[in-house]
Amino acid sequence: MLSIVSDSYIRLIPTNPDWQPTHEAAAAAVAYVASLFSGPDDAVEEVEYEFYDRVTLIDAGENTSQITCSRCGRDIGLDWLGDLVRGNGSLSFDHLDVTVPCCNAVVPLNILHYDWPIGFARFEVSAMNPTRAQYELETEEVARVADLLGHAVAQILAHY
């Protein structure tokens, strides 16, 4: 019998795609996030941070099912984003401005509307397979991560 294993992540990224914290701030944020899963019924497989050389797509995996153009309001197929990433050769981008297929407008990737939040960043903190009563971080917890890093952050819930 084939067993299919899936993974869930809480991913925290700076709201400015180019911004990166110090390594000390990144380590403090990881320690804080790990502490949020230290109760008797809470667990997390791994909490880590990663710095990227270029702005990188921080996706929501299977959670994302729809993209809508911020310019004309029409749907853009997920295949379009997949083709863009494949054509780019990686999840990293030199610039986020793209021509959208719906209205041929030039729009930054980070202002398109995604049904589940995704983002673009040069840094992330991620918690793999977190479990607790409330899966996502609360507003106050996200604010604490932002304080530790020294910059506002967005939360992305991913499932693969």
Residues 77-96 have pLDDT tens digits of 999 999 999 998 889 999 99
* 159, 8 Cβ separation under 8 angstroms: yes
How many beta carbons lie within 10 A of that of residue 136, not counting itself? 13
* 121, 14 Cβ separation under 8 angstroms: yes
Residues 6-32 have pLDDT tens digits of 899 999 999 999 999 999 999 999 999
9 token code pair: 């992540």
**What residue spans define the domains of the chain?**
8-62+116-160, 65-115
Residues 138-147 have pLDDT tens digits of 999 999 999 9
* The pLDDT of residue 133: 75
Its pTM stands at 0.92
In this structure, CATH architecture of domain 8-62+116-160: 2-Layer Sandwich (3.30)
